[in-house]
């Protein structure tokens, strides 16, 4: 890297970490402890996957997608001291909401968690006459206050930016349909108040190969001097169904709908047994990341085969080099 890379974030010296295995030249490498959360961690879970984690004091907290044994899609809070061993509440989150029209919980899945200013915001795919983006905030991961849905149905993969942009809250999302959407680009929207969302901009379209059917933002983007580092999922349609891999791109800092660089190859695709075998085979679906700005370490949390939670590691400077060297916009 020619000029010094600046990475924004709170130091996280004790984040979960493993060095790249000797002899490996992978840009992203998996935790030797995968899957870090088994499907049956709590008594009522059929599967726990596509979940969001975040630093909380010197510990970690998270919001987890738990599909229960009645196959209802619920969100549960969780806590961890080391980011790898998690305790997940046995009861789902009961969101507090002033308006029963919005607060009536139908289903919730694929959560993201983002610290902005003074609180943690949670976004997720929320059932309201079809999937749309639900939003809530919490200070303590005990009480969650639900806000207005961000968009009309149908929408998925609502991912907030960790600071206001142009004075507004900012979010990526993926307009969809009511089913297993066979299309989908990433869009950007802003809101002055977390109620009214507008200024919608197109960010990225699908391309060939591993990201030919649909794409959707994953973890909260990471601010660097090279732009917002966005890790996202991309879907390929094979004769055996959809295959979910992850890729990476850099977005302009003040106009994040402008893509500066976009890696053509995936950075991780479902290849291990826990990604290829489960309730939905061949899925690696990232929803969160932890990073330490001082060392550039990055831990990506992703769901494996719609069944378990996994972690993979990389270094932010190496990933940015990889994106730039392999960029094709």
How far separated are the first and last CA of the chain, in Å rounded?
A: 20
Should residue 274 be labelled a site residue for ligand BMA when binding is judged by CB under 6 A?
no
Pair type for strands 131-138 and 144-146: antiparallel
CB of 287 to ligand BMA, least distance (A): 9
Long-range contacts of 160-163 (CB under 8 A, 24+ apart): 160/112, 160/114, 160/116, 160/121, 160/123, 160/220, 161/114, 161/220, 161/221, 161/228, 161/256, 162/114, 162/115, 162/116, 162/220, 162/221, 162/223, 163/116, 163/223
Binding residue (CB under 6 A) for ligand BMA from 64, 109, 187, 210: 109
> Which of 31, 45, 47, 50 touches ligand BMA (CB under 6 A)?
50
Q: How far is the CB of 278 from ligand BMA (least distance, A)?
A: 10
Interaction of residue 48 with ligand BMA, rule CB under 6 A? no
Strand runs labelled E in 198-275: 198-204, 214-217, 222-224, 227-238, 241-251, 259-262
Contact segment (CB under 6 A) with ligand BMA among 142-150, 251-259, 278-286, 319-327 equals 278-286
CB 228 within 8 A of CB 161: yes
Give yes or no for a cis peptide into 35 (omega within 30° of 0): yes
Minimum gap (Å) between residue 146 Cβ and ligand BMA: 20
- CA dihedral (316, 320, 322, 328) positive or negative: positive
- Nearer to ligand BMA among residue 78 and residue 234 (C-beta): 234
- Positions in 224-253 near ligand BMA (CB under 6 A): 244
Our CB check for ligand BMA shows the closer of 55 and 303 to be 303
**Which 181-210 residues touch ligand BMA, going by CB under 6 A?**
none
- Residue 298: closest CA among 267, 276, 270: 267
Task: Determine if 285 is a binding residue for ligand BMA (CB under 6 A).
Answer: yes
- Kindly state the smallest distance separating residue 109's Cβ from ligand BMA, in Å: 5
Q: Does 138 bind ligand BMA (CB under 6 A)?
A: no
Closest-CA residue to 56 (of 72, 39, 78):
78
Q: Is 280 in the site for ligand BMA (CB under 6 A)?
A: yes
Select 18 or 72, whichever has its Cβ closest to ligand BMA.
72
Q: How far apart are CA 290 and CA 319, in angstroms?
A: 14
Of 29-37, 264-272, 277-285, 294-302, the window that binds ligand BMA (rule: CB under 6 A) is 277-285
283 binds ligand BMA (CB under 6 A): yes
**C-alpha to C-alpha distance for 278 and 195, rounded to whole angstroms:** 37
CB of 183 to ligand BMA, least distance (A): 12
Nearer to ligand BMA, 292 or 306 (CB): 306
Q: Is 124 in the site for ligand BMA (CB under 6 A)?
A: no
Binding region for ligand BMA (CB under 6 A): 50, 109-110, 180, 244, 280, 283, 285, 303, 306
């Amino acid at each position: 890297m020619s000029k010094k890379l600046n990475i924004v974030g709170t130091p996280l010296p004790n984040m979960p970490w493993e060095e790249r295995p000797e002899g490996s030249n992978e840009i992203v490498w998996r935790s030797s402890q995968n899957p870090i959360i088994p499907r049956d961690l709590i008594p009522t879970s059929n599967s726990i996957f596509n979940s969001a984690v975040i630093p909380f004091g010197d510990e970690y907290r998270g919001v987890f997608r738990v599909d229960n044994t009645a196959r209802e899609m619920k969100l549960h809070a969780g806590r961890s001291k080391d980011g790898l061993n998690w305790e997940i509440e046995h009861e789902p989150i009961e969101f507090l909401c002033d308006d029963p029209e919005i607060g009536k919980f139908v289903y919730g899945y694929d959560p993201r968690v983002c610290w902005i200013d003074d609180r943690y915001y949670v976004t997720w795919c929320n059932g309201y006459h079809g999937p749309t983006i639900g939003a809530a905030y919490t200070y303590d991961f005990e009480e969650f206050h639900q806000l207005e849905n961000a968009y009309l149905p149908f929408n998925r993969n609502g991912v907030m930016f960790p600071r206001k942009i142009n004075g507004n809250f900012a979010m990526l999302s993926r307009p969809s349909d009511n089913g297993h959407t066979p299309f989908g680009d990433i869009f950007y929207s802003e809101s002055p108040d977390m109620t009214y969302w507008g200024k919608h901009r197109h960010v990225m379209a699908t391309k060939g190969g591993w990201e030919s059917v649909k794409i959707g933002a994953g973890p909260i983007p990471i601010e660097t001097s090279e732009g917002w580092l966005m890790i996202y999922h991309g879907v390929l349609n094979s004769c055996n169904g959809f295959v979910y891999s992850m890729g990476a791109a850099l977005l302009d800092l003040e106009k994040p709908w402008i893509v500066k660089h976009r890696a053509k190859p995936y950075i991780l695709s479902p290849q291990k047994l826990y990604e290829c075998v489960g309730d939905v085979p061949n899925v690696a679906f990232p929803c969160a990341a932890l990073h330490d700005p001082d060392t550039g370490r990055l831990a990506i949390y992703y769901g494996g085969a719609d069944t378990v939670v996994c972690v993979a590691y990389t270094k932010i400077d190496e990933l940015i080099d990889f994106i730039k060297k392999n960029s094709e916009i």
